[in-house]
Structure 1
Amino acid sequence: MTVENTAEATEVGETTEVTDTTEVPAPVEDAQIERALEAILMVADEPMSVVTLATAVGAPVKRVRAALAAIVADFDGEGGGVRRGFELREVGGGWRIYVREEFDHVVADYVLQQNPTKLSQAALETLAVIAYKQPISRGAIASIRAVNVDSVVRTLLGRGLITELFTDSETGAINYGTTDLLLSQLGINSIDELPKISPLLADGADGFEGDVR
């Protein structure tokens, strides 16, 4: 969008036209806000606040809240529409698109079939931390491993080996835990059947603060 301010300055009997051109970012058209929000939420890997979404589409918070409600209704098939295999949920003060619970096993099986390769050492180490310390946040995992674990956590989520258990009401951090798929892959019935890790550590606690199995 271009804004032009024209002023006339008269000097020595001559008229000079001065044009000030300023580029202003164009907000998303009102009719397209729902679709724009869908596009943003489709690629988000963390819940997004209403304020963040409003800034992204250049619309008032009130309008964005109404748009989110419309998207939820659309995904749920209200008004005679088709109920989608995914849903838009508000978690910990933010919004994110999730697979519907009844299709979790379908997605997990598909992802496992599409990713038959072995896990990397980094993924195995991160999975071990989550298995023994769950529920645990991404920040806590990174603190224990002393490296950034964002991509590894996404890999484990994609494989269906871990899941988001809940969001901390105070910090907004997502806490992760293992899934039944991991148990079946390990051939155990419960996480309690994991071997105790204390005997394997030099001082019984190195790398795992607090209680360990």
Structure 2
Amino acid sequence: MEQRLADTIAQDLEELIFDGTYSDGDRLDEVKLADQFGVSRTPLREAFQRLALSGLVDLIPRRGAFVRQPGPVELMEMFEVMAELEAVCGRLAALRISDAALKELADANTRCQMAVDAGDPDIYYLENERFHRIIYNQSGNSFLEQEASKLHRRLKPFRRQQLRFRGRMSQSMSEHEDIVQALSDSDPEKTADALRSHVAVQGEKFHNLMSSLKSHAQVVSSSR
């Protein structure tokens, strides 16, 4: 119960950071936030830990939790590495994936499509996360799986944010289908290329992401 509560608080705080309510360097006041969410400090601190894992918060001993927004260069570099890690996972998974895992991917895609139809980016992200973790696991390389999962957590808030752009969920769904087809065909290079393209945020996708973060910050700054 407390774990789900911490997850919910972390997600709500992500939104407050993205919409500019909290800016880079702002301190997250435990007392005020505990009162705002109607919770004790325990689940709030757990939520801070989750945000620290994704890099949106710095936890400084004896000082507290501070918002940290990565700059465009750092964000681009992280997505670049993520795209290559996923490509390697896909290349290995194409050679090793089980029939049972292919069925799990198909089920995750079915649920993703339901989220697209419902226009629900949050549900889509949950199933999208499941989709990618299956591929990490099916790479058959536990070290690679751990490293990919670690960076996936770090980029979670930004990957979630992308899904709010008009048409992105449908585009992502189409890319998922290409990935599953490549895996079903046991084609390592096609799978790697499909995953790399799916995750990369170069060009328009990166421009949209940075514009979204910047516009939220400007709106709140002007209202203060």
Confirm or deny a common fold (TM above 0.5): no
Alignment TM-score, normalising by the size of structure 2: 0.29
Q: Which has the higher strand share?
A: 1
TM-score, normalised with respect to structure 1: 0.30
Which one has more relative contact order, counting CA pairs under 8 Å at least 6 apart? 2
Larger helix share, 1 or 2 = 2
